[in-house]
Chains A and B, each alone.
Chain A
Amino acid sequence: MKIAVLVKQVPGSESVLPILNDETWVDESLVSFIMNPPDNFAIEEALLIKEKAGEGEVVIVSMGPDRVKKTIKEGLAKGADRAIHLEEDGQIETDPLSISKSFSTVLKEENFDLIFTGLQSDDTGMGQTGVLLGEMLGYSTATLAMETDVQSDSIRVKRELESGWFQWVKLPMPASISIQSGLNTPRYPSLKGIMGAKRKEIKSIPVSEHRVGSKMQTIEKVFIPQTSKQTEMIEGDADSVATRIVEILKTDLKVL
């Protein structure tokens, strides 16, 4: 049972996000980074499956500059067996197709039974890499897994649908699954795990060796959203206030 977990290092939720002068991205030298929070659930699910099976290996896979090794080591400290690091050389990758193509050429020979990703990354939030990769490798795919049930050559996944609905889907392995947050309780790395992580293999491969074609999707500009926080004061007696609120709910917010 070989499980790859795609992990991303992203800016922390409380980090400053100073925009570069050319407005193409944030100034990463001032940003504090963490593991993409949804990825924790993916790692935990992979570890639980491996522990239940009693055998297998969990491999952390990540793309990014050198600083990403810190996040990779966190995954190793939690119990993953080894890691593959696609090392970026200064050009920040944001195009999911391009990223997935690089991943697919590297992961093809590994023949993973399962590829797990978090539901999306807290930086660009494209939410596609796992499914793109699945398609490129010819794997079956599913997203937003709230529960997994691995059987001998297939995996049952409880997909989350909108509005409180769910659906069980059975897929043959190999499969690429995106894991919904909250399906398990991620562990904290033990001290032994942290020490042991230092000796686990991290295979570094320059992205440039695997870049296929050029990126098609570009972030032209990043900017602070215009929070025109115009607070609308609703006045009048209780009845007219209530009427106006129903209108807002129906028309403006479309929640009815």
Chain B
Amino acid sequence: MDILVVLEDNRGSLHRMSKEAIVGAQQLGGSISALAIGDNADALASELSGFDLEEVITVKHDLVSSYNADGYAMVVQKVFESESPKTILAGHTYQTRDFMPRVSAKIDAPFIPDIISIDDGLTKQILNAKLNATVSSSNEQMILSFQSAAFSEESIKPGFCSSRSFDVSLDSSQVRAESEDPFQEAAGGVDLESADLIVSIGRGIEKEENISLAFDLAEALGAEVSASRPVVDSGWVEPFRQVGSSGQNVSPKLYFALGISGAIQHVVGMKGSKNIIAINKDPDAPIFEIADYAVVGDVLEIVPKLIEKLQS
């Protein structure tokens, strides 16, 4: 086996980033197997039956019925020792961050995380994404994780893939964590700085009664709401939503700027955003210089249509 992709269970179904990791593996080339751990291992395996993989190895054991770092690290180590893949791969999720370094230390192989591209060597971002770096491993075996959307799950190569179960013996004394059930926190404190998706309101929203449009869009996207200073100053949203030099600094995956001109005091607080969609009536608005997607148009016309389509 060349590559072993460790799959992640996203509440019963395969995590999108695991699929993306398989795409990355397919592009790296070689014989690829996947590893599914836990009570839902069979379900995950069957999701991959139509794709071009050697096989899915399933591991089921009481001590890894649900995720825990000790158990998962040991299972991966045992599979590694049995199958000897050159590369272990996964999506760079919180879970991967939690246990993959354990594997790295156990098998003494380097873990190169959060890779954004493999076209020109292994590339990762450094220094707050101000620079990129090409990283290499001098060790035959290595562990890699891919950043979200580094690969597209649409590009997965179809084929046929079987599964087989793999027995592990684990000692309960080695699984030390007692985990409670995961829970969701009531949305009280809005932490914009760690938000993935943000819908941001500028003066182009024109009136206070239009603010709800932005909140509706945010809800449809599962996004947080922020605003530029003038909107906050007018009292239309709470001050903690302010983004800019005298507000919060945000760097979400998506920053949806509605009616924001792009004045420097605002841009300073959001220029770290990975993707910016901007809608503004003014074709010369400075926001368009930093936007990935630009719409010269009326927020009040476009957003309602957008919400409609998202809700359908």
A–B direct contact (CB < 8 Å): yes
Residues of A within 8 A of B301 (CB): 238
B69 sits at the interface (CB 8 A): yes
Instruction: Kindly provide the distance from the CB of B118 to the nearest chain A CB, expressed in whole angstroms.
Output: 14
User: Of A126, A248, A254, A256, which is within 8 A of B149 by CB?
Assistant: A254
The answer to whether B176 and A143 have CB atoms under 8 Å apart is no
CA gap between A128 and B154 in the complex, in Å:
30
Q: Is B233 an interface residue (CB 8 A)?
A: no
Interface residues of A in 207-256 (CB under 8 A from B): 214-225, 229-234, 238-239, 241-243, 245-246, 248-249, 251, 253-256
A248 touches B69 (CB 8 A): no
The interface residues of chain B lying within 8 Å CB-to-CB of A168 are 179-180
Q: Once the chains are docked, how many angstroms separate the CA of A136 from the CA of B149?
A: 32
Q: How large is the interface on A (under 10, 10 to 19, 20 to 34, 35 or more residues)?
A: 35 or more
By secondary structure, the B interface counts as mixed
Counting CB contacts under 8 A, is B93 at the interface? yes
Q: Are B149 and A95 in contact (CB under 8 A)?
A: no
Decide if A170 touches B294 in the complex (CB within 8 Å). Answer: no
Interface residues of B in 174-209 (CB under 8 A from A): 176-185, 187, 191, 193-194, 196-197
In the bound complex, what is the Cα–Cα distance between A219 and B136 (angstroms)?
6
Give A225's nearest chain B residue, CB to CB.
B132
- Check if A131 sits within 8 Å of B176, measured CB to CB: no
Tell me what chain A mostly uses at the interface: helix, strand, loop, or mixed: mixed
**B177 in contact with A165 (CB, 8 Å):** no
Range class of the B interface residue count: 35 or more
Interface flags, A120-144, vs B, CB<8A=1, else 0: 0011111110011011100011111
Stretch from B45-53, B98-106, B161-169 forming part of the interface with A: B98-106
A216 to B114, CA, bound (A): 17
Of A51-59, A107-115, A156-164, A192-200, the stretch lying at the interface with chain B is: A156-164
| Closest CB in chain A relative to B258 CB, distance in Å | 12
B61 part of interface (Cβ distance < 8 Å): no
Seen from chain B, the residues whose Cβ lies within 8 Å of a Cβ on chain A are 16, 68-70, 73, 93-94, 97-102, 104-106, 108-114, 121, 124-139, 142, 148-149, 152-154, 176-185, 187, 191, 193-194, 196-197, 221-222, 253-254, 275, 277, 288-298, 301-302, 305-306, 308-310
> What are the 5 A-B residue pairs with the smallest beta carbon separation, nearest first?
A131-B101, A135-B105, A242-B305, A128-B101, A217-B110
